[in-house]
Structure 1
Amino acid sequence: MGRKNDYLFFLEPVYANSGELLAWELLTRFADDADINNKRNPNRDAGFFSQLSADHKWQLFLHQVEKLIQLYHAGFKQVISVNVDRDIVAGIFKDAEVQQKLATLTLMRIEISAFFTARFSRADLLTLKGVAKVTPAPLWLDDFGPGYSNLTMLDSGIFEIVKIDKEFFWQFGEDRTFDILLDHLNQLCRGVIVEGVETQSQADLLAHKAIYGMQGYLWQSVYLNDLLAQS
């Protein structure tokens, strides 16, 4: 794995319509592409983890876990979701030591990309259910939208929160179809977070919709190390 200072961790906030801060998503960027000043970078959005080997991803996940243990032990009291993929899910399921560490992180959420469920199989469902049993962290589903979503997986009831893909929101957020989808998703999970909120007009559009929260570049992110330094 590369040097630890090759990348940076930061937290992107999730807000309710009321303005309440609900949670954070832990994101990772290469140090030379870590601008968090509300600037959307299409190249960056293509996916940090897609550029890494399976071993590198696993080592990075272990480092994220250690950072969160530090933060929560320092008294942090808010929910933080952490992105994982198939390789990391498999690693969690097999590694008892990691499971013990995750057991201490009761405010952590494991966020699984809908890319995982796009190739959903019974084995995948059993693996996810297994992870849900061996860790206290509820599962969240990321990137829900056309082409990468599987309602069968949602019907399993294993996801606490579903995040709607920003591209889907941008295209259909003003349509009745979007409201119908929200109603359906709310029957399958405990709440929906809409990603890709970059302007106040987009936030206003969601003000009276059946959502749990909103996330996007409209709100300022913070560096994880800055929070640790303040602890």
Structure 2
Amino acid sequence: MQSVTRGYPGHIFEPIVTASGGLLGFELARKSQKVESQQNSCGYEHNLSPEDKVKVFFNQVTLACVNANIFIDNDFLLSINIDDDIACHIVSNTAIRNVLQQHRFIRLALDQNFSEFSEESPRKVIRSLSECCTLWLDNFGAGSTSLSLVMNESFEYIKVSESFFWQHQGTQSFRKIIEHLTPYCQGVIVKGVENAQHVEYLNGSNIRAMQGILWTSYNQEELIQSFFSNG
């Protein structure tokens, strides 16, 4: 455990909190990735080469495996954001697909910029990904997603983007969007929750969970100290 703490110091576990105040799980991200994501609603670091992205993903999956008992024993889910480069690597790599199949608490979150989200795409990569791991849709409402996409693909959870929430918070139109999404997934997760007023805005909305800086993220050591049990 300690060697992983030293080896991957830049990773954080960001809580995903249910509407009732419990923990659905975490998003595993790099600190630098989260800074960029908050600035432009982008789910991945575009300054990284495809090879470096794959290395980051490998580190994330390694962290997930090291902490497997925490997620299994507490019934937590762990989402990891991926883009086209990582998705293609997963599809072509039998070993990583086997790891994902063996660790069923891992979720792959596809960002709204994923190339196969265009209407004319046959979505072969998405189909292959779904065979080895449960998929989430990230950043719905940020510009490149649609209700048609949600209706025609199978996403376990749909995460509404910070920008969409901040723009429409407390409005009837926001509640209607949640109502439209809910029948096509197991629940909607709202990102960008920063204060008690945001939580108040979401009271009464049919959402599954919330995510944002209102809840403190955990590093590897803090995750172990808070949730690891020896049985």
Task: From 57, 62, 65, give the equivalent of 1:69.
Answer: 65
TM-score w.r.t. the length of structure 2 is 0.85
- Counting matched residue pairs gives 220
Q: State the distance in 2 between where 1:80 and 1:210 align.
A: 22
Q: State the distance in 2 between where 1:169 and 1:43 align.
A: 15
Residue in 2 that maps onto 1:14: 16
Residue in 2 that maps onto 1:95: 93
Task: From 180, 204, 224, give the equivalent of 2:220.
Answer: 224
Q: How far 1:125 sits from its partner (Å)? A: 2.0
Distance 1:45 1:155, change over 3 A: closer
Deviations 1:72-96 (A, max 9, x none): 0466531110010011111111100
Matches within 5 A, 1:206-221: 206-221=202-217
Q: Secondary structure at the match of 1:13?
A: strand
Note the residue ranges of structure 1 that are not aligned, 5 or more in a row. none
Matches within 5 A, 1:146-185: 146-185=142-181
Q: How far 1:172 sits from its partner (Å)? A: 0.6
**What is the letter of the counterpart of residue 164 of structure 2?**
F
Q: How far 1:138 sits from its partner (Å)? A: 1.0
Task: From 197, 203, 209, give the equivalent of 1:201.
Answer: 197
Q: State the distance in 2 between where 1:207 and 1:139 align.
A: 26
Q: State the distance in 1 between where 2:191 and 2:10 align.
A: 21
Note the residue ranges of structure 2 that are not aligned, 5 or more in a row. 1-5
Q: 42-51 or 201-210, which moves further after superposition?
A: 42-51
Residue in 2 that maps onto 1:112: 110
Q: Over aligned residue pairs, what C-alpha RMSD do you find? A: 2.7
